[in-house]
Structure 1
Amino acid sequence: MSKVDWSKVDRPQLVLQRFPSRRSIVYGTKGVVACSQPLAAEAGLEILRAGGNACDAAVAVSAALNVTEPSCCGVGGDAFCLFYDAKTKEVKAMNGSGRSPAALTLDYVRSQGVTGRTIPSTNLNSVTVPGAAAAWVDAVETFGKLKVADVLAPAIRLAEEGVPVSEIHSYAWQRSEPLIKAASPDAHAMLLNGRAPLPGEVMHFPDLAKTFRAIAEQGKDGFYKGRIAQAIVDLIKSKGGVMELSDLESHTSDFVEPIKYAYADEVTIYECPPNGQGITALIALGILDALQQDGTIKPLSEMDHNSVEYLHVLVESMRLAFADSRYYVTDPDVVHVPVKELLSKEYLRKRAKQFDPTKATVDIQHGSPVQSSDTVYFSVTDQWGNACSFIQSNYAGFGTAAIPHGCGFTLQNRGSCFTLEAGHPNELVGGKRPYHTIIPALATRGDELFLSYGVMGGFMQPQGHVQVLLNMLRGFGPQAALDAPRFCISAGLPDSEVKSTMGAGDINAEVFFEEGITEETVQKLRDMGHEAHIISGPGRGLFGRGQIIQKLRTADDKLVWAAGSDPRIDGHAVAQI
């Protein structure tokens, strides 16, 4: 068998142009896993075959993705999930996001030379307490059937035995190589012979395996107390941070009531409540509902898909929704978030009146989103009819890319989502959760599950939730709903493939359209006042990477799952046999 001399292989250029290959819907009668990495999907299947339910398998996938796709997620980040319980027909939510260090204040950040509206993404004061480890343990113990140690076993094996690096993920890794090298003394743990790995090269994560074993054997204490906690604190303090062991020891996941909106009296969409931005999707759907009900626009189903009128009304509805959510969404334990008011029919009708069918109008009062695609979303269903919609993230790429000594994972920079503006609802305060971009979604018809789905990617996520849901309601299958070209209002984190002229919270009419939406259509939108751009190639990552599992019933009432996986990333959907 021939061997590849990787030292002589040029770093490949990623080709992500017209998606020339195609994917079919994946059907299954037992469990299904849809995620962004094939080996992580196999980890989920392993747990389903061992008798685990959708939640057990989702946590197995989550941990495995830390090994197979560390540029986007890991135990140094946060997680959220929605769980559909087939027995009770209830949707339950878990917030696994962490809080800022208790001693961190706006004055302290300013004293460290930060002058902008947000904490820079490489500043370790942007590190909030990682919530993923507790989220794994708490989710399994609350919704699952197996032991945490059993659920983490596939990820431990992958980390120890090594995993070949996938194509798109390798591209992201190469782009982040300078960041990793500069972030901490343990950069070697995330590099191969001092560099980012190429596609097909095998990465081993022995330190990460030790971290996983500590969680498997000691539960949450294995992460939030002892060696790992001390390593986190030591690294952050070495770079001017103020996190203490007490910040880690006091961390908790929260089980909360999901928020929801009944769209067109047809489907009910569930999102996690603030501090997540899921409410953005619900506000947008409410505005679209109001516009159709009062006759301002004809039904969306009667508009040509991705036509000028269709895209204009979706873009404008999303922009109005973001204007509110970017201002109001914060930690509800610290500042009241008017969720009920924002989702009231009266308020949504009022917001809808600001829509102009002839031109772009930008609400300059509260803000407009920036964008990043460094998150992983995945969906898992099981043979009993349960579904787990799960998402986790480092925030920007590898997060800070800083690796606590001997731990094998990077620390997130979610604190960059705080606003450094005194009096703002999302103002930086010690012990507070910031505005959070990562959001899973579920949809039901009546009390029966319809979809377990999501679209990862910073502020693209609620935009993706709305677009793929509407695709499904037009009659698209799960795969076609994900394949269809999308739009994204704004982009612009420092490591984004597409640069924006916007700063965080600034206002303009900038919107990006994916290749596949015609130049003629985009030009007409420009004529209406949209600052419109067409994106192709690797930049298409800004449109997010989604997964969908749809629940179907045969004529004789047998359960069938139908799943799709986004072509903008390396993964796929797989079914249990």
Structure 2
Amino acid sequence: MRNFQRPGRSPVRVTEAAAATSHPLATSAALKILRAGGNAIDAAVAAGAVLAVVEPQSTGIGGDGFMLYAPKGSAKIIGFNGSGKAPQKADVKWFQSQGITSIGGHSPHSVTIPGLIDMWAQVLSDHGTMELGRVLEDAIHYAEAGYVIADRVAFDWNRETATISHDANSARVFSPVINAGDVHRQPVLAQTLKAVAQHGRDAFYKGALAEDMVQHLNALGGLHSVEDFVAAKGEYVAPISTSYRGHEIHQIPPNNQGLTALVMLNLLESFDLTKLAALSPERLHLEIEAGRLAYYIRDQFIGDPRQADIKTAELLSKDFAASLRKRINTATAMTDIKPIKLEKSDTVYLTIVDRDRNAVSFINSVYHSFGSGIMSPKTGVLLQNRGMGFKIDPAHPNCIAPGKRPLHTIMPGFVTRNGKALMPYGVMGGDYQPFGHVHLLQNIFDFGMDPQAALDAPRVFASAGAVEAEDGIASSTRSALSSMGHKVVQAPEPLGGGQAILIDWDKGTLTAGSEPRKDGCALGY
């Protein structure tokens, strides 16, 4: 039970349905759909669309998405990969001939073909009950009539003046300075959303909208074609999973980085964390070391399995984890592993559970704040920079190639137990996400926290040879981690952001939590 003398909030406890998103307008939109008779998929697309308007730094229809879905609370989880591909002309030899050794975040080459609209259309058609036009109504309203800038949105927005200003179209829509409480409108985006609402996904991937995006990218030196947009299509995928403390933890397979969190859990499951305090240096040290190993594996071996040999089953095996675990010393930090520079970025994650216990774990993103910063003039679509994750190295599994998907950081999570859905969950934050998933799951299953308390708890993140620690990490814990060999630094920004809904089948209740580091909330009835 939380300490009611300290700041914080209680989890939302309801019986019928619950929604948790990173923005109040999105949570409200989800509940509106649920109360109107829609199911979890209808509500998820409605909420995701609102977020694509009111959190433009984090997501948008120029980005990608992934989904994990449990129909009627089944443990047979359905996965969907809505990540976009590189243009067909994006051959590594061309980049080498141009002397390009890495892809910059503001470069047109960082723009992969957006997959989000296609994902919305497919999952809504296959698993929803409402038309696309119906669930886009609130998003269209906020883009056209305006929405009030929330506090965390303003915090992120004003740190990205360079990204906003380098493209004249983006600069026109996203003025360099914005304040919490200001009203913002995106009328051109509203017209694009109306076209999608009326004509479906093809309005985005065929015809005038696609042509405008391609023309603008080509003018900047991009290799994109209208044919790339026409061919865009997401796909259903079989989730990957591992067991942890009697639960099955499900993730999207590569090209997604979800495997990284599963490797971390496999490494940590042999340690009895219940003997440690939740925020003790000993617990955080184990999390840090497991993360360093898991990210090393990620960066060496994960790419698009359609164009690279990804040994997913081997990397997920308990035997592999056992051999890797030998490198973890419970008292001191490893010194024989190369530091990896990891990127934090903005994303939106949301989860919905409806009255029939359809449960969805849903994530959208344009990758870095405001993505590439590139916006085509006639669409209002801000394009993602997911392609900057590609390597320019023919020997690497994540090397750029025609029609290839890059290593993708956004990862919805799902927990099942005893043949039933238990908890859709996710933690945002670019490369931080595997750390965030593991921290959240251990807070719940090892330390007995409810979803809200688990999300509230302070976090650490190991990147580039240092450990970033949030304000809530005690000075004594920081000192102890330093004595173990970690270079501990103050986290320059909040680490990640998540949502979770726990299903109690015996009591017939839902317990929902929402990220305190964001503007959002969990609500239900």
- Band the TM-score falls in, shorter-chain normalisation: over 0.9
1:79 aligns with: 65
CA apart distance, 1:114: 2.8
Letter in 1 for 2:285: H
How far apart in 2 are the matches of 1:22 and 1:353?
39
- Point out where structure 1 has 5 or more consecutive residues left out of the alignment: 1-18, 293-298, 491-501, 503-508
> Which residue is 1:270 aligned to?
250
The equivalent of 2:228 in structure 1 is 247
Say whether the 8 Å CA contact 1:478–1:548 is kept in structure 2. Answer: yes
Q: Mapping of 1:345-424 within 5 angstroms? A: 345-362=318-335, 364=337, 368-424=340-396
- CA distance in 2 between counterparts of 1:558 and 1:406 reads 52
Amino acid across the alignment from 1:572: C
Gapped regions of structure 2 (runs ≥ 5): none
Q: Kindly state the Cα deviation for residue 145 of structure 1 after the two structures are TM-superposed.
A: 1.4
1-side partners of 2:7 and 2:379: how far apart?
39
Give the C-alpha shift of residue 369 in structure 1. 5.0
- What is the match of residue 86 of structure 2? 100
Tell me if the contact between 1:320 and 1:363 (Cα under 8 Å) persists in the aligned partners.
no
Match of 1:141 in 2: 125
Kindly indicate whether the alpha-carbon contact (under 8 Å) linking 1:540 and 1:568 is maintained by their aligned counterparts in 2. Answer: no
Aligned residues: 520
CA contact under 8 A between 1:369 and 1:489: conserved in structure 2?
no
Write the deviation string for residues 97-147 of structure 1: whole angstroms up to 9, x where unpaired: 0000010122323444534xx301011111000011101101111221111
For 2:322, what is the secondary structure of its paired residue? helix
For 1:238-263, what per-residue CA distance to the aligned partner results, in whole angstroms no more than 9, with x for missing partners? 11111001111111111000000011
C-alpha separation between the residues in 1 aligned to 2:109 and 2:214?
11
**What does residue 484 of structure 1 align with?**
457
Aligned to 1:499: none
In 1, are the aligned partners of 2:115 and 2:234 still within 8 Å (CA)? yes
Residue 486 of structure 2 aligns with an amino acid whose one-letter code is: H
Aligned position for 2:501 = 549
For residue 350 of structure 1, report the CA deviation from its aligned partner. Answer: 0.7
Distance 1:432 1:362, change over 3 A: farther
Match of 1:444 among 395, 406, 416: 416
Distance 1:123 1:362 in 2: 36
Counterpart secondary structure, 2:375: coil
What one-letter code is carried by the residue in structure 1 that aligns with 2:497? R
State the Cα deviation string for residues 327-386 of structure 1 (Å, max 9, x = none): 111111111211100111211111111111221115536x73512131111111101111
1:261 partnered with 2:233: no
CA contact (8 A) 1:99 1:433 kept: yes
Aligned to 1:563: 512
Measured in 2, the distance between the counterparts of 1:125 and 1:152 equals: 30
Amino acid at match of 1:514: E
- d(CA) in 2 for partners of 1:460, 1:223: 31
Question: Which residue does the alignment assign to 1:494?
Answer: none
Match of 1:69 in 2: 55
Return the TM-score normalized by structure 2.
Answer: 0.96
Q: In structure 2, what residue type is equivalent to 1:475?
A: G
Does structure 2 conserve the Cα–Cα contact (< 8 Å) formed by 1:522 and 1:534?
A: no
Look up the match of 2:483.
527
Letter paired with 2:355: Q
SS of the residue 1:368 aligns to: coil
1:199 aligned to 2:177?
Answer: no
- 1:209-288 counterparts in 2 under 5 A? 209-264=190-245, 266-288=246-268
Q: Per-residue displacement from partner, 1:158-196 (whole Å, max 9, x unpaired)? A: 1111100001101211222332121244531233xxx43
Q: What do residues 509-530 of structure 1 show as CA deviations (whole Å, max 9, x unaligned)?
A: 3211111211221122122221
1:471 aligns with 2:434: no
CA contact (8 A) 1:189 1:207 kept: no
Task: Work out the CA distance in 1 between the residues paired with 2:293 and 2:157.
Answer: 35
Cα pair 1:485 1:515 within 8 Å, conserved: yes
Q: Secondary structure at 1:119's aligned position in 2?
A: coil
Change (3 A) 1:280 1:142: same
Percent identity of equivalent pairs: 38
Tell me which of 503, 512, 515 is aligned to 2:471. Answer: 515
Report the secondary structure of 1:222's partner residue. Answer: helix
SS at match of 2:351: strand
- Is the CA contact 1:391–1:440 (under 8 Å) kept in the aligned structure 2? yes
Give CA-to-partner distance per residue, 1:23-57, whole Å, 9 cap, x none. Answer: 11111212211111101111111111121111111
CA distance in 1, matches of 2:362, 2:458: 24
Q: CA deviation at 1:409?
A: 2.3
Give me the whole-angstrom Cα distance separating, in 1, the residues matched to 2:134 and 2:187: 19
Q: Deviations over 1:185-226 (max 9, x none)?
A: 4531233xxx43211111111111111112112211110011
Contact 2:46–2:135 (Cα < 8 Å) also in 1: yes
CA, structure 1 residues 197+89, in 2 after alignment: closer, same or farther (shift >3 Å)? same
User: Paired residue for 2:296?
Assistant: 323
Give yes or no for contact 1:33–1:379 (8 Å, CA) kept in 2. Answer: yes
SS at match of 1:86: helix
In 2: Cα distance, 1:532 partner to 1:519 partner: 10
Q: Per-residue deviation at 1:532?
A: 1.5
Letter in 2 for 1:71: Q
Equivalent residue letter for 1:426: N
Distance 1:475 1:88 in 2: 24
1:110-149 to structure 2, matched below 5 A, reads: 110-115=96-101, 118-149=102-133
CA distance in 1, matches of 2:423, 2:361: 9
- Tell me the residue number matched to 1:540: 493
**SS of equivalent to 2:166:** helix
Cα separation, 2, equivalents of 1:332 and 1:124: 25
Task: Confirm whether residue 313 of structure 1 aligns to residue 286 of structure 2.
Answer: yes
Q: Which residue of 1 aligns with 2:135?
A: 151
- Cα distance, 1:87–1:358 mapped onto 2, change above 3 Å: closer
